[in-house]
Structure 1
Amino acid sequence: MKSVCGLLLGLFVLVSCGNNSKISQELKQSVVENKDFAFVKKKALEVVKTGFNAGDGYGEVWIRDYNTFIELSAEVYPKEELKENLRVFFRLQGDDGNIIDGFIPKEKAVDVEGGYTYIYNDLEPIYCGHKNTVETDHEASLVQAVYKYVQKTGDKEFLNEKIGDKTVADRLEWAMEFLINHRWSDEHGLVWGATTSDWGDVQHCHPWGVYITEDTKYCVDIYDNAMFLIAIDNLIELDSTKKEKWQTIHDNIAKNTMKHLWDKENQKFIPHVYLDGSPFPASFNENEIFYHGGTAIAIEAGLLKQDQIKVSLDKMIANVKASGAGSIGLTVYPPYPEGSFENKGMVPYGYQNGGDWTWFGARMIQQLVKYGFVEEAYEQLQPMTNRVVVNDGFYEWYTEKNEPTGSGTFRGSAGVLYKAIEMLEDAVEK
């Protein structure tokens, strides 16, 4: 019986490989000759050469953004400059291990009533920081950024560098422990955050919405926990001595994520599981909403199987068609109804409430390539690259009519799109 099963498996692999080879051959010429890809890659390198802030609409260097273009920056900057940005985040690390959201030169930090409360530390003489406390991805983003830096440069010695009284390696683990010590739901065995839309950093209450307030509704969601899982994987790979402690934590979070957040019947992630009640009316069925960004990050975290990835992609494509949006970077579908968020930018199909973000759409493309959906990746990537060419820039997000808006030099989009193209090119070559 064993030999028969082995023979059948071998035949299956041969047939599958032959089919993939045929698809790759058909795709190869199209990918190699795609002029949009060449334009986008060249443009992306030009954009990251000009700095490290998120884009022309931002003064700060944000960790959640830097994490997504540090690899591309490594193509055009010496490693010392990349490393210095990472050091700033560590120098401004909180006394409980938390990581700031972004930093800005002290002379440019303008105190405005109702604006950012700036964070200072004696270890950092030039910059001050701020933290959008409604989100729970800053710590995970820094671990991922350091991992990418080390992978790209080979500079593993950076982990032993001391900043204050702690090494970089110790500070990374301290940051991760902050999430367990201060952002942890014992009931669910998951990290919590405020009620935002998918991966966004604008909560439902308050006209701005980036700070936790007395009106905040706490919840667990897929994006924060998937980011944490990826960071744990990265931490273990950076230092194998931490595996015994962190692998158990990782496996429990993965199990609890699928237990509490995966809707088996509808084959999708539940937007929020609330710790103290939903902020939305009982008449509103929030679970009708599909989270595009969080789903992409969940796939990156290894939470979904092949068939679940295909179902998720099919839902994304259907959502794009139903909404009229330009790409699967569509944040959520359907969007939250008018008035769900106090922030005036969070109208249906506005900003993080149904805006179309290449910043996350291209990360889904990367995962499609990784999991063998090469033909689908090529098809879904082209709308994203085409609009870079048409608009001559990497815009922050697009309306449901595919109109560009926000920063026109959004480096996060440049970074993830460049990587998606490279992964696709490598896949068809191999």
Structure 2
Amino acid sequence: MRTKLLFVYFFILSFSTTLFSQNKKELAGKILSDKKMDTVYAMAEKLLAKGFNAGDGYPQVWIRDMNTFIETSCKVYNTDSIRKNLLTFYKLQQPDGEIVDGYVLKGHVTWNDPNIYTNDLDPLHVGFINTVETDQETSLIQAIGKYIRVTGDASILNEKIGDKTVLERMAFSIDYLLKNRYSEKYKLLTGATTQDWGDVQIEGGAVVDVDANTHWAIDVYDNSMFVIALNNMIAFSKVAADKQKWTNLKELTSTNIRKYLWDEKNHKFIPHIYVNGSPFPADFDENKIHYHGGTAVAIEAGLLSKQEIALVNKQMLKNVELSGAPSIGLTVYPPYPEGIYKNSTTSKPYVYQNGGDWHWFGGRMIQQLAANGFTQEAYDELQPMLNIVLKHNKFYEWYGVHGEPSGSGDFKGSAGVLAKAIAMLRDWAQKNK
């Protein structure tokens, strides 16, 4: 009897394995024959071969954008130029270690930005900083990590910029964050109150710059970006003491993200912890809002289990259904209600960062689904993004709730994340065909 049961068990196991293998082959064939993926990837390569400015509405080179398209750029653009562009950020590094958001040639458009940053190490460029953000330093570290992985050029870490190597300047930039953007109570990074990963503060005022209106807060996006950057620092470091230092900081940050920001009951990240009071009325429950972008980056940082990834992806799809948005690029759901705060730029529901549909972050969620074994979901959830790109024959910055294109056209961040998502799915398909 026992032998018979074992035979039945192994027969069922063998049948299931065969069926799973057949399903994988079928999906691989579907991916490899998908002409929409081919067309969008070719469009992305063509756009990214044109340079490093963020889009046709952004003449500057911004590091938070470049970080998301650099891998494809390294395949279609001169890598010496890419290296020089990366090094320019460290030439413009400020005396306290702060990294600029972006830069442009002196004499070119400045948007009348009050925060103009220069450095004698680079007499050709001026830099700009949206001071409400806390992702400039971490984006640059990540971008150099991606550059090294694609090109194999680790010598960039030893390049001397003034009196410091690039690796030393990376550490200097982390010191800046720990001294100026850090909560000793929570042992997490702080920033102005924005919508998820956004660069527009909720309270209005100076809008992209910290001012008297700013409420300092802690969120999952900034801190997940920090964890990813620390993973890079661990990989870069050759000295055991340095490697241990970054490992300890990464583990502390990861632990506290889970401790303070993960809502176990609702399987979501809370929007903010407020350091010195909230900008919202006492009766407003901000934790009803889901932050899609920060969640995708948290997955990249390794902060969620496979089961939790499945749950948050299911929530994202439900939010898309409830909102009517085109894709899981939907930034937040539900959006902040109109009139809850002063800033008219971002107060309207489903406009810009308050519930707009951004492939720039939706594409990152596709990448993480693919990276964590959710290949069918990644392929299915990519389709609406491909369709809207092909419909308009452009990579727009964001889309309205009914799919209307908005913001900068030819937005390289969107092109970069979609190209990488397509490449990841293709790589999987080649291994499983």
Distance 2:339 2:264 in 1: 30
Aligned length: 419
Cα 1:300–1:18 change in 2 (3 A) is farther
Distance 2:122 2:11 in 1: 61
Distance 1:308 1:237 in 2: 27
1:68 paired residue number? 68
8 Å CA contact 2:326–2:402 kept in 1: the answer is yes
Cα 1:125–1:19 change in 2 (3 A) is farther
1:138 paired residue number? 136
2:50 paired residue number? 50
8 Å CA contact 1:203–1:341 kept in 2: the answer is no
SS at match of 1:321: helix
SS at match of 1:307: helix
Cα 1:14–1:109 change in 2 (3 A) is farther
1:392 paired residue number? 393
Which TM-score applies when normalising by structure 2? 0.94
Deviations 1:171-229 (A, max 9, x none): 01111121112111011010000100000010112255110001100111000000000
2:165 paired residue number? 167
8 Å CA contact 2:205–2:211 kept in 1: the answer is no
8 Å CA contact 1:199–1:293 kept in 2: the answer is yes
2:237 paired residue number? 239
1:7 paired residue number? none
1:128 paired residue number? 126
1:404 equivalent in alignment to 2:402: no
Cα 1:140–1:110 change in 2 (3 A) is closer
Corresponding letter in the other structure for 2:182: W
Cα 1:116–1:76 change in 2 (3 A) is farther
CA shift for structure 1 position 111? 6.6
8 Å CA contact 1:395–1:409 kept in 2: the answer is yes
CA shift for structure 1 position 116? 3.6
Summarize the alignment of residues 238-277 of structure 1 with structure 2, pairs less than 5 Å apart. Answer: 238-241=236-239, 242-277=242-277
Distance 2:300 2:13 in 1: 24
Summarize the alignment of residues 332-371 of structure 1 with structure 2, pairs less than 5 Å apart. Answer: 332-346=332-346, 347-371=348-372
8 Å CA contact 1:204–1:340 kept in 2: the answer is no
Gaps of 5+ in 2: 1-9
Deviations 1:226-250 (A, max 9, x none): 0000000011112242211110111
CA shift for structure 1 position 427? 1.3
CA shift for structure 1 position 110? 4.0
The structure 2 residue matched to 1:190, chosen from 180, 188, 191, is 188
Which TM-score applies when normalising by structure 1? 0.94
Distance 2:285 2:331 in 1: 18
Distance 1:107 1:423 in 2: 40
SS at match of 1:58: coil
Distance 1:116 1:57 in 2: 19
Distance 1:162 1:70 in 2: 22
Cα 1:426–1:188 change in 2 (3 A) is same
SS at match of 1:74: helix
2:212 paired residue number? 214
The farther-off stretch of 115-124 and 215-224 is 115-124
Distance 1:88 1:16 in 2: 54
Distance 2:308 2:272 in 1: 20
Distance 1:415 1:46 in 2: 11
Give the alignment's Cα RMSD to 1 decimal: 1.7
1:4 paired residue number? none
1:292 equivalent in alignment to 2:292: yes
CA shift for structure 1 position 162? 0.3
1:153 equivalent in alignment to 2:147: no
SS at match of 2:361: helix
8 Å CA contact 1:23–1:375 kept in 2: the answer is no
CA shift for structure 1 position 386? 1.1
CA shift for structure 1 position 348? 0.8
1:324 paired residue number? 324
SS at match of 2:103: strand
Cα 1:59–1:14 change in 2 (3 A) is farther
Corresponding letter in the other structure for 2:395: F
Corresponding letter in the other structure for 1:51: G
8 Å CA contact 1:356–1:399 kept in 2: the answer is yes
Distance 2:90 2:16 in 1: 47
Distance 1:424 1:21 in 2: 17
8 Å CA contact 2:280–2:341 kept in 1: the answer is no
Distance 1:13 1:142 in 2: 47
Corresponding letter in the other structure for 1:278: S
Distance 2:25 2:324 in 1: 32
Cα 1:12–1:393 change in 2 (3 A) is farther
Gaps of 5+ in 1: 1-9
1:6 paired residue number? none
Distance 1:217 1:11 in 2: 62
1:3 paired residue number? none
